[in-house]
Structure formats: structure tokens, C-alpha cells
Amino acid sequence: MNSLLLVEDDERISQPLVRMLEAEGFSVVHVETGEAALAAVNGSVPDLVLLDLSLPDIDGLDVCRRLRLSHPGLPIVMLTARNEEVDMVVGLDAGADDYITKPFRVAELTARIRTRLRASSVSSPLVESDTFGALRLDRAARRAWVADDELALAPKEFDLLVLLASHHGETLRRELIMAEVWDENWWGSTRTLDTHIASLRRKLGDTNDTPERIITVRGIGFRYEAG
């Protein structure tokens, strides 16, 4: 049974959500503050964290950053009422693996949870570092550098970068990217891909207006240029 840590201070949301997640077969620990979340993870690391952004003590983004530093491989799904793309990008920058806005359907949330859990259970192949122009990837350590600067990437950002760079010069269709990086049975919006692309571009030093590394091929997908 997979263990979840739910960090949510609104009882109108947390209580029915705990019941529904337990009915789906998860073991759920619920806390209401950021400090309690950090203490809970330090005491017993869950399989996944569901993290609300609006907490009464510590901002959820700060909690996410601290969890990512102390537990790099811990899957984190943010729950929030903020639905602007800039908010999603900030959340991903803080280290979240996924981002779901309230109100949400329980079926969608559980699908996202199971996708993150499957992804975290698959180990990366142990290979030597790969170099693509100024970009260097260490798949075994799940680390990336541009020149001598290491990139602070969320887990899905790293997986996305590996896929694009490994096929540098090729245009990859959106559907293929979603199947490879997220899940072949993904049925939600592909907006999450656009949000990850925007965040990844910024970390690579690109801009959405004039990208040099991750190129949008309109109506098809994306291409990585390794030059």
C-alpha cells in the first residue's frame, strides 16, 4: 500500500479527500501546516506528498523547496486554487513534479498520483554522462549542467530534457512526449507539457519568445537543438 502525506489546512477539503484516497487504497497521513509536513517527512518518508500552496505558517513553495533539497527523489504534487501559468511555472521551479488546481476530480487526482508513483519506481539506466553541445547529462545521478552551471531540475523536467536532448535535431510529437515522460495512458490536459517546457527553457537560459535550445514546431511538438 502506497503512503501519502496530505498537507492541507482546510478541513472542508482534507477530510473528504482523506476518505476518498483511503477508499482508493492509499495510506494517508494528514497534516495542516508546513512545519508539520517537514517533521512528518523527516520522521517517515512517504511515497508521495500532496502539498497545498496556501498554508497558515510556511508558504507551500518554501515547503516544496525544502523537501526537494532534503529528499530529491520524493514525488510532490501541488494542490492549489491558483491556475495561472506563471503560478504553475513557479511551482515547478520550486521542485514540484505535478500541479493540479482546485476544484479537481478525484479520478484525475488519483490518476496523477499513480502516474507519479509509477515514474518514481522506475530506476534510470546506469550510463555514462552524455554531452549535447554545452549541455551535459548524468542519467544515473539525474543531474544536468550547462557549461559549468548545474541546473536545478524537478524530476519531470529532467526526464523531459533527457528525452528531447537524446533526440536532438528531431521533432518529437506532443503525444509521444506525453507518453514517454508522463504515461502512455495519460488522459488529462497537455498544458502540463507546455508548463514544463516554459520552466525548462528558463533554466536553460532560453526565452519563450526566442528559444535557442527547445524549439516549438507549431502544430506538431518540440525539437532540441544541441548547438
Tell me the average pLDDT across 80-89: 65
Distance, in Å, from the CA atom of 51 to the CA atom of 49, rounded to the nearest integer, reads 6
Q: Which residue among 99, 121, 143 closes a domain?
A: 121
**Residue 189 grid coordinates:** 490536459
pLDDT of residue 82 exceeding 90: no
Structural domain boundaries, residue 159: 130-224
* Percentage of the chain modeled with pLDDT above 90: 37
pLDDT in the model for residue 138: 87
Q: Is the pTM of this model over 0.85?
A: no
H-type alpha helices, the chain: 11-23, 34-43, 60-70, 85-93, 106-121, 155-166, 174-177, 191-204
pLDDT in the model for residue 183: 66
Domain total of the chain? 2
Q: Are residues 54 and 146 in the same domain?
A: no
Q: Are residues 148 and 46 in the same domain?
A: no
Q: Are residues 169 and 197 in the same domain?
A: yes
| Pairing mode, strands 76-80 and 143-146 | unpaired
Task: Give me the CATH number covering residue 64.
Answer: 3.40.50.2300
pLDDT of residue 126 exceeding 80: no
pLDDT band per the 50, 70, 90 thresholds, residue 164: very high
pLDDT of residue 87 exceeding 70: no
Distance, in Å, from the CA atom of 205 to the CA atom of 202, rounded to the nearest integer, reads 5
Tell me the average pLDDT across 92-115: 83
Of 71, 56, 50, 72, the residue nearest 5 (C-alpha): 50
Q: Are residues 155 and 111 in the same domain?
A: no
pLDDT of residue 186 exceeding 80: no
Which sign does the torsion angle of CA 52, 56, 59, 62 carry? Answer: negative
